[in-house]
Amino acid sequence: MRRGARSGLFTMVAVHSTVRGPALGGCRLWHYDDARAAMRDVLRLSRAMTFKSAVAGLPLGGGKGIILAPDPAGPTRRGLRADALRDFGDTVEALGGKYVTAEDVGTSARDMEAIASRTSHVTGLSRRRGGSGDPSPWTALGVHEAIKVCCERVFGTPALRERTIAIAGLGHVGARVANLCAKDGATLLLTDVDRSKRELAGDLGAHWLEPDAALAAASDVYVPCALGGVLDHASAVRIGAPIVAGAANNQLADDDVAELLAQRGVLWAPDFVVNAGGIVNISVELEAQGYDPRRARTRVRGIGDTLQRIFDAAHATRATPLDAAMTLARERLAEAQAAAAIPRA
């Protein structure tokens, strides 16, 4: 945790694990009520990144970065944003490669270029800078693959034609998921707290719902792509779909909600498996042979295979998909830890 010499704003980086490789996690520019809330968030998010990378089989650990915005509007003084980003770059550089940053809530590929002026441990740079650019198309591709796997599990076919899919949250990822599902012939129910997104519903011939109606709407798949914590003990009993698979992080307010969903016959695809497309793409960017979007596409589509493995394990052990996913992550972390402990000849 450091106070920026240029901006005066606090920056934080949490490194949860490097046992599988450098800790990868985005830089979040966000306003918190106090530093304690920011500290809790960066620690929680870094831990989640460890398990996300491990389940995806990536040679990466888990980390997260935060720039504490002075107010909900973000940095407002002219030049403050650029100063804060450079200050964050200094924090990243101080860790000597143990942490690699990327874009996250409140930051963009352009912001990564500002950070890169102070450290080389940056991913998600623009294509002209040798990076892979905006990660949201890759996250959306992974969500689309997960939806098809879930449909095959529940309905016996991955085809989305004639399926009704409710998507909550039409940001960069949610809008792309909607477009992919529309191309597959699905009937769409769309919602967002930003009513200007209703235009997308018109473009896709979709039905528009009010935000509080989407969860309980009669559908085949509910796709949360907005804020986390959407599934708690009260909302879990209101779900109108037999499948939940979306891009939102930390969808379960408590882990025991996974058991409640299973008891109700709702197939929940663990969010940290479904939304891993962005970091899978970034892992390709970090490979020695350089970035290749074709290689990235193949790897991201492998999210479907990982999800099948998790569902098979959950069925075989009578566990929830969450338990099966966490078991897989812990196995891969233990394997890496054991390999690191073996003396080299």
Matching residue, tokens 């650029």:
82
Give the Cα separation of 140 and 274 in Å (integer).
9
Distance CA 273, CA 262 (A): 17
Mean predicted confidence (pLDDT) in 257-283: 95
Backbone angles phi, psi at 70, to 5 degrees: -70, -25
Q: Which residue has the higher pLDDT, 154 or 286?
A: 154
pLDDT in tens, 175-193: 999 999 999 999 999 999 9
- Supply the pLDDT for residue 217: 96
DSSP class of residue 320 equals -
The proportion of the chain whose per-residue pLDDT surpasses 90, expressed as a percent, equals 81
pLDDT-based confidence at residue 343 (cuts at 50, 70, 90):
low
**Which alpha helices (H) appear in the chain, and where do they start and end?**
35-55, 80-94, 109-116, 136-155, 172-183, 198-204, 211-214, 257-263, 271-274, 277-285, 293-317, 321-341
For a pLDDT cut of 70, what percent of the chain falls above it? 98
Q: Is the pLDDT of residue 344 over 60?
A: no
Partnered with residue 241 across adjacent β-strands are none
The average pLDDT across 146-159 equals 98
Q: Which domains does the chain have, with CATH numbers?
A: 2-46+61-129 (3.40.50.10860), 136-276+306-328 (3.40.50.720)
Q: What is the pLDDT of residue 12?
A: 97
Residue 231 per-residue DSSP state: B
The residue-averaged pLDDT of 202-231 equals 93
Per-residue pLDDT, averaged over 25-34, amounts to 93
Sign of CA dihedral 38, 39, 45, 46: positive
pLDDT tens digits, one per residue of 101-143: 998 888 988 899 999 999 999 998 877 776 777 889 999 999 9
Length of the chain: 345
Residue 308 has pLDDT above 70, yes or no: yes
242 Cβ partners below 8 Å, 6+ apart? 154, 220, 265, 266, 267
Residue pair 275/123 in contact (Cβ under 8 Å)? The answer is no
Query: Can you give the pTM of this predicted structure?
Result: 0.90
Predicted pLDDT of residue 133: 78
Rounded CA separation 57/66 (Å): 25
- Indicate the pLDDT class of residue 287, thresholds 50, 70 and 90: confident
Predicted confidence band at 342 (pLDDT cuts at 50, 70, 90)? low
Residue of 64, 98, 148, 197 with catalytic role:
64
Give 65-96 pLDDT, tens digit per residue.
999 998 877 776 788 999 999 999 999 999 99
Tokens of 158: 């991955």
183 is catalytic: no
